[in-house]
């Protein structure tokens, strides 16, 4: 399979510009018209799925990043790319990320693989012969890789992709506390605290809500909220148990990792070595690309979102009756 190495746009060589451009400048895709499905979980909670595409074609499950949703530009772009191939795409929202608070006190976190396991089981029961793949971004990528490693040969997916993954959560948390990356931390922390306040407006909180105003870092949030809500001793216990890096050697289905060395949320400290990857895992490491950025093209008026092209190309051999249109033209511009 031919590879398409990423080359950043000359006007977006800075990692922060790569990261922020799609957030603030990418146009919303109004033609998606997703249809929502609610999946009831065995613990009494639920997750919401947003579907795009028609017919009975292959399915690509998309796992968003921290505080993401179908409104995230990278999710919309990938769903659009999936539909262009004649496949179906489904965004799996983590608990409380679909616009409605989940029922239980717990929410979601970087190492929770039970929900994706239940959703995929639900889809396979309904369509046992349909090829099924998944792509996870950032936190969603960590969840996906951890689940792939946990299940090994028994995993029901045909293939998988993980993008801009924080393989070691401790190192990622440390990265977010330095330099310009603190801006991303502030934004994510603010969103997480708002969501917790919203969630516990109409049900008793299992902790003192006033503590939220004292948080300065994601470590603070994970130590006082994420860890106790999900049965971890503290944030370090949570980070250690939830990091995907130790699971990479146990993955048995074809898996592509797309990372950039200049990722301002992850960086290159904590990236896995080749001997940590199973024979089924392929790492494509770019010098530049930011965090879930990977934007190329010759003009700011016509940016090319490389991830939306690379992902279908990788999935193509594993999804029957699929197609990629004008592939040679897309990469010769």
Which pLDDT score, from 0 to 100, does residue 3 have? 59
Average pLDDT over residues 294-318: 96
Query: Which residues does the annotation mark as catalytic?
Result: 138, 263, 291
Asked whether residue 1 carries a pLDDT value surpassing 50, the answer given is no
Asked whether residue 311 carries a pLDDT value surpassing 70, the answer given is yes
| Residue 3 within a domain | no
| Residue 198 within a domain | yes
| Residue 140 within a domain | yes
Our count of domains for the chain comes to: 2
Asked whether residue 170 carries a pLDDT value surpassing 70, the answer given is yes
| Residue 7 within a domain | no
Domain boundary among 222, 242, 262: 242
| Residue 249 within a domain | yes
Asked whether residue 283 carries a pLDDT value surpassing 70, the answer given is yes
| Residue 52 within a domain | yes
Residues 161 and 184 placed together within one structural domain of the fold: no
Asked whether residue 231 carries a pLDDT value surpassing 90, the answer given is yes
Residues 114 and 232 placed together within one structural domain of the fold: no
Residues 237 and 188 placed together within one structural domain of the fold: yes
The domain of 215 spans 176-242
**C-alpha span between 57 and 274 (Å, rounded):** 34
CB-count exposure of residue 241 (10 Å: 0-12, 13-18, 19+): middle
**C-alpha span between 25 and 20 (Å, rounded):** 8
Asked whether residue 42 carries a pLDDT value surpassing 70, the answer given is yes
Domain boundary among 242, 258, 275: 242
Asked whether residue 12 carries a pLDDT value surpassing 90, the answer given is yes
| Residue 117 belongs to domain with CATH number | 3.40.50.1820
β-strands 132-137, 159-163 pairing = parallel
Residues 90 and 145 placed together within one structural domain of the fold: yes
| Residue 6 within a domain | no
Q: Please, what is the average pLDDT of the chain?
A: 93
pLDDT over 70, % of the chain: 95
CA 277-280-283 angle, 5° bins? 55
Q: List the one residue out of 126, 97, 130, 121 whose CA is nearest residue 41.
A: 121
Residue 77 structure tokens = 């772009």
Domain boundary among 185, 215, 242: 242
- Model confidence at 5, pLDDT cuts 50, 70, 90, reads confident
Q: List the one residue out of 273, 276, 270 whose CA is nearest residue 247.
A: 276
| Residue 8 within a domain | no
Residues 208 and 255 placed together within one structural domain of the fold: no
């Amino acid at each position: 399979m031919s590879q398409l190495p990423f080359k950043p746009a000359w006007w977006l060589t800075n990692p922060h510009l790569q990261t922020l451009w799609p957030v603030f400048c990418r146009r919303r895709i109004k033609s998606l018209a997703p249809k929502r499905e609610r999946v009831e979980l065995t613990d009494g909670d639920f997750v919401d799925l947003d579907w795009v595409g028609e017919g009975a074609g292959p399915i690509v499950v998309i796992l968003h990043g921290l505080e993401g949703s179908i409104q995230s530009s990278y999710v919309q772009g990938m769903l659009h790319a999936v539909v262009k191939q004649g496949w179906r795409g489904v965004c799996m929202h983590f608990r409380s990320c679909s616009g409605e608070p989940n029922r239980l006190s717990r929410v979601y976190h970087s190492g929770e693989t039970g929900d994706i396991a239940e959703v995929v089981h639900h889809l396979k029961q309904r369509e046992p012969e349909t090829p099924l793949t998944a792509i996870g971004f950032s936190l969603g990528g960590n969840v996906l890789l951890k689940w792939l490693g946990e299940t090994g040969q028994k995993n029901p997916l045909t293939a998988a992709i993980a993008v801009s993954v924080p393989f070691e959560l401790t190192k990622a948390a440390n990265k977010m506390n330095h330099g310009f990356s603190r801006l991303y931390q502030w934004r994510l922390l603010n969103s997480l605290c708002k969501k917790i306040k919203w969630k516990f407006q109409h049900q008793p909180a299992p902790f003192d809500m006033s503590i939220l105003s004292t948080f300065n870092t994601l470590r603070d949030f994970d130590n006082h909220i994420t860890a106790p809500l999900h049965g971890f001793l503290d944030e370090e216990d949570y980070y250690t148990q939830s990091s995907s890096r130790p699971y990479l050697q146990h993955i048995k289905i074809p898996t592509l990792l797309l990372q950039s060395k200049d990722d301002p949320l992850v960086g290159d400290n904590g990236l896995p070595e080749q001997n940590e990857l199973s024979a089924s895992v392929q790492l494509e490491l770019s010098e530049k690309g930011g965090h879930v950025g990977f934007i190329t093209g010759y003009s700011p008026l016509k940016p090319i979102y490389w991830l939306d092209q690379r992902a279908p190309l990788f999935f193509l051999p594993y999804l029957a009756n699929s197609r990629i249109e004008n592939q040679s033209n897309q990469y010769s511009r």
